[in-house]
Amino acid sequence: MTFSTVTFPIINETYEQPTGLFINNEFVKAKSGKTFAVTSPSDESVIADLQQADSEDVEIAVQAAYSAFKTWRFTPPNERGKLLYKLAELMDEERETLAKIESLDNGKALHCARFDINVVIEYIRFCAGYCDKVDGRTITTDTEHFTYTKKEPLGVCGSITPWNFPLLMFAWKIGPALATGNVVVLKPASATPLSNLYTCTLIKKAGFPPGVVNVIPGSGRGCGNAILQHPLIKKVAFTGSTEVGKTVMKECANTIKKVTLELGGKSPNMVFKDCDVKKTIQNLITGIFFNGGEVCCAGSRIYVEATDEKWYNDFLAQFKAEIEKLKIGNPFADGVYQGAQTTPDQFETVLDFIKAGKESNLKLLTGGNRIGDKGYFVEPTIFYDVPQNSKLTQEEIFGPVGVVLPFKSVDELIEKANDSLFGLAAGIHTEDFNKAVYVSERVEAGSVWINTYNDFHPSAPFGGYKESGIGREMGLEAFDIYTQTKLVRAKISKPTLF
């Protein structure tokens, strides 16, 4: 299968981009012959034309994976670990190329992409180290039985990933699946498949057997639904919007699959007057403007203590000043903090929310406009003194738009923070540890960050409450959802001596 030579803008470096479907360790053409264009969010130009998978290609990929599973499941754990560790080493060697591909394809600033790649590499290493630690237990029931359990892989796992963190979501899906002896058929978002396909060259180079990892870009309707409905796929891991997550659950029901969902969020970021103001403001910026705000756990509901009106107004003034220092533009330009929104549809959605805020006469602290007439760039935008029932408070925007809401008591804060369909994450900013723990115990969120935000670690599980999802990524919890428990119970009788 041919590769396409792609040039990174501004720095004028090139690399070779795979353009085929990765099935059975080879890049192949789609059976339909259909292709689709991947475009740059920064200037709307075509980056490459890729093969487009549909249900026929899903069938081929699933059969390849199913065949590979028959031997991969019995591959010694330390051998699986060596392969995963080799993959991490190869990715480490090419971390800068991977980061640049991510920025080109997704539109995110290069510093964001480099952060992502570092987390990816460390997580693959973490999974490599866990391969030989998937243990069962012995159970003492009586003296007449030997009873034990063992953790076994599920089989073929289908993964459907979003466009905001293409390679990070790829790692979060394949890492625990492969470590526990499963095989994978993964559909990346059609808007951002480039880094996933490039990594497939490293998977082959690392020595993974054919069929263990298969990556097939395509549409949700033609490719994604076939993954959800396939009877040989025993587990589906989906990351995306809550509305699509509900459809995923329905589509998986007919073939009874294990399903994990990492979905939307509208996370509260809570600021107390006794916080370290400078550090807190940087945490708020990270919470809402990192990755252009296209973060499921973005801290976009900012609750600020308003028991002292002067302190409240001074805080907003300092927040505004720091936001307006951020440089927005092409991800490859020096000093850029925020790049482009990834897709034209999401770009328009963000602008529609900003328009709704203005039409509702919400107070605008800063931002509120499109930048330029080419590419999908939006000013970092904050509205303040926003009502709790506002559309901008209640709905996920998925862009660089946040709202500030004042509070005057802890009880009021907790009630407002929990007034949401979502429960993915929360931030608490205070120098009073007792206060931080008190609030963290009462906020309904899967992850609570104290005096930090978007602070991930391979050992720390991530996932949501309520409509933010089911299951966890990373941590030991991620391995559990890729295994099933087998009980073995043997009757013991008194031996006869000869």
Task: Please tell me the distance from the alpha carbon of residue 314 to that of residue 254, in angstroms, as a whole number.
Answer: 57
Q: How far apart are CA 381 and CA 375, in angstroms?
A: 18
Q: What gap in Å lies between CA 343 and CA 341, rounded to an integer?
A: 6
Q: Which of 16, 44, 152, 262 is catalytic?
A: 262
Mean pLDDT, the chain, integer: 97
Tens digit of each residue's pLDDT (9 = 90 or more) over 166-202: 999 999 999 999 999 999 999 999 999 999 999 999 9
- Give the separation between CA 154 and CA 69, rounded to whole angstroms: 10
For the chain, the first-to-last Cα distance in angstroms comes to 68
Q: Which residues are CB-contacts of 28 (< 8 A; sequence separation ≥ 6)? A: 1, 20, 21, 22, 51
Tell whether the model's pLDDT for residue 491 goes beyond 80. Answer: yes
Could you tell me which of 234, 264, 232 has the C-alpha nearest to residue 246?
264
User: Mean pLDDT throughout 59-75?
Assistant: 98
Residue 148 is inside which H or E element, if any? strand 145-153
pLDDT at 472: 97
**How many residues are present in the chain?**
498
Mean pLDDT across 53-63: 98
pLDDT tier for residue 421 given thresholds of 50, 70 and 90: very high
Does pLDDT of 497 surpass 90? no
Axis-axis angle for helices 309-323, 277-289 (nearest 10):
50
pLDDT tens column, 293-329: 999 999 999 999 999 999 999 999 999 999 999 999 9
Confirm whether 262 is a catalytic residue.
Answer: yes
Compute the Cα dihedral for 260, 262, 265, 268 and give only its sign.
positive
- The tens digit of pLDDT for each residue in 430-455 reads 999 999 999 999 999 999 999 999 99
Percentage of the chain modeled with pLDDT above 70: 100
Domains of the chain (ranges; CATH) run 3-263+468-485 (3.40.605.10), 268-450 (3.40.309.10)
On whether the CB atoms of residues 424 and 447 are closer than 8 A, the answer is: yes
The pTM of the whole model exceeds 0.75: yes
Q: What pairs with residue 462 in β-bridges?
A: 473
Q: What is the structure's pLDDT at 216? A: 98
Confidence of residue 20 (pLDDT cuts 50, 70, 90): very high
Q: What is the DSSP letter of 224?
A: I
| Structure token pair of residue 206 | 């690392």
Q: Is the pLDDT of residue 342 over 70?
A: yes
Tell me the two tokens of residue 236.
């589906």
From 169, 219, 200, 175, select the one nearest 57 (Cα to Cα).
219
From the list 150, 136, 127, 22, the residue with the least C-alpha distance to 80 is 127
- Best CA proximity match to 279, nearest among 319, 308, 313: 319
pLDDT digit string, tens, across residues 195-238: 999 999 999 999 999 999 999 999 998 999 999 999 999 999 99
Amino acid, res. 78: N
